Amino acid sequence: MSQSVAIKNALISVYYKDNLEPIIHELNRLGVNIYSTGGTETFIRSLGVDVIAVEDLTSYPSILGGRVKTLHPKVFGGILARRNNDSDKQQLTQYEIPEIDLVIVDLYPFEETVESGAGHDDVIEKIDIGGISLIRAAAKNFKDVVILASKDDYTELDQILKAQNGTTTIDQRKKFAHKAFNITSNYDTAIFQYFNQEDPIPVFKQSIQTSQILRYGENPHQKGVFYGNLDAMFTKLHGKELSYNNLVDVDAAVALIDEFTEPTVAILKHTNACGIAGRSFIKEAWIDALACDPVSAFGGVIIANDEIDAETATEISKIFYEVLIAPAYTDEAVQILQGKKNRIILIRQPVELPNKLFKTLLNGVIEQDKDATVEGPDQMTAVTDRKPTEQELKDLYFANKIVKHTKSNTIVFAKNHQLMASGVGQTSRVDSLRQAIIKAESFGFDLKGAVMASDAFFPFPDCVELAAEAGILAVLQPGGSINDKLSVEMCNQKNISMVTTGIRHFKH
């Protein structure tokens, strides 16, 4: 196996020419023969550097509007020939094929073209054929060939050329090949996903090129990585890096706050809301959200859907929290919030979020559509003698939004657009209800006149009975139990109203 290879011939054909000039001049200084095509050839000549047109090598012109330029044995033979194989070398001599030791090729911007909203024909023309073939060929033959498939690697190669006088090591070539195959696999995945939108083939493919190493996973003994572009999602104003657990909570917080339009603040702990309130002003929303459960709020994630001003920032700074997210902050608010060293302060950017959710499970992956449904008053069917008032319907809608984003089994109590208490993640619904009653009482909430929402139906009337005794006046549930009639009868006995929605919101 060749360990060190001197670059004698290079093929360069790129879409992006940023930062390419230093490499061209360095190759020229080293006496490397440069082959090129089209715009790249013109660019190299403009630098005063000699370049050989691929057409002169192949004796064949670019055809079909540029669709076929490099697909020729004299190009691919020079790339794929094994330098330690006598038969390969004899054929190179026989057919006058130069050994190509360096290939610098990138790909047409397919993903960017799709994201721009371009028409189907324009998208199809950005499916690279020659480029991706050249990259794969050079990467396959990394024992003898250097492949650069991204402008992000130009600087690294330039440094290698200068430091090693135009030679590369096997480790360097293998590293570049590794990067190249990552680029080609991502490119093919993007093309497949584009075609798989209509009448999709049921296969799981994901490719995300950006990543961030986290301090650790859920616990310090677990490694953690985030795949995605956090900088596109948030602008960090202050604080340490987001941890694995921070990110899980932030994801839940973003999903929850997007349900609300009036000025709203939510406080989350372990992905569940421990406080949330909607008010006319964000400061009032914060005060009432914190009142829901000031104990659980300690060390939580706070999210608002309106600008944080100085007065609100002063109030928020009175407690310990991990992360604060808002669409904007006043300058005075930022100064106040930055007074706490490790608090993470984020501005949320308007980024479209995925509508598919997936996670690893057993020896595979499960995927589902995002739960994009939340039933409002128009989808609530009254099934009891007493009908809910207009305000109760509004509060049921508010409570139902929270239920959708809370771990099952869950019960939510709400009144006047404020969470009063919730029972979260219990193994029976009645246990969740009892938990919610105890929490409401412990923080001084009077449940008389409040409403209750459940993520799933009541298998027995005991939940309704307990809720009525606590002062609940209106209940929301999806319905569908064989014992629905018993729960309705209990509501009628207790003179409280019940609505059904027909939609369950389990969250495991």
User: Helix 73-80 vs helix 130-140: angle between axes, to the nearest 10 degrees?
Assistant: 30
- Over residues 129-166, the pLDDT tens digits come to 889 999 999 999 999 999 999 999 999 999 999 999 99
Residue 235 phi, psi (nearest 5):
-105, 120
What element of type H or E holds 212? strand 211-213
Selecting among 89, 143, 179, 270, the annotated active-site residue is 270
Quick one: pLDDT band at residue 3, thresholds 50, 70, 90? confident
DSSP conformational letter for 152: G
- What DSSP string describes 2-17? --EEE--EEEEE-S--
HSE at residue 451, side-chain half, CA atoms within 13 A, is 30
**SS3 call for 18:** coil
Structure tokens at 136: 């794969």
- In sequence order, which residues have a C-beta less than 8 Å from that of residue 278 and are 6 or more positions away? 260, 262, 263, 264, 285, 398, 417, 418
Whether the Cβ atoms of residue 245 and residue 258 lie closer than 8 Å to each other:
no
Residues paired with residue 11 on neighbouring β-strands, in sequence order: 35, 103
Looking at residue 420, its pLDDT comes to 96
Given a cut of 50, whether residue 1 has pLDDT beyond it is no
Alpha-carbon 208 to chain mean position: 9
Query: Which of 33-37, 62-66, 115-119, 503-507 comes out lowest in average pLDDT?
Result: 62-66
The residue type of 359 is K
Selecting among 8, 89, 126, 140, the annotated active-site residue is 140
- Over residues 203-234, the pLDDT tens digits come to 999 999 999 999 999 999 999 999 999 999 99
Whether the Cβ atoms of residue 256 and residue 399 lie closer than 8 Å to each other:
no
- Over residues 423-439, the pLDDT tens digits come to 999 999 999 999 999 99
Q: How many residues does the chain have?
A: 508
Q: CA 167 to CA 424: how far, in whole Å? A: 63
| Mean pLDDT across 16-23 | 90
- Over residues 85-129, the pLDDT tens digits come to 999 889 889 988 999 999 999 998 898 999 888 999 999 988 988
Mark whether 140 is an active-site residue. Answer: yes
Given a cut of 50, whether residue 365 has pLDDT beyond it is yes
Which of 344, 350, 345, 405 has its CA nearest to residue 374? 405
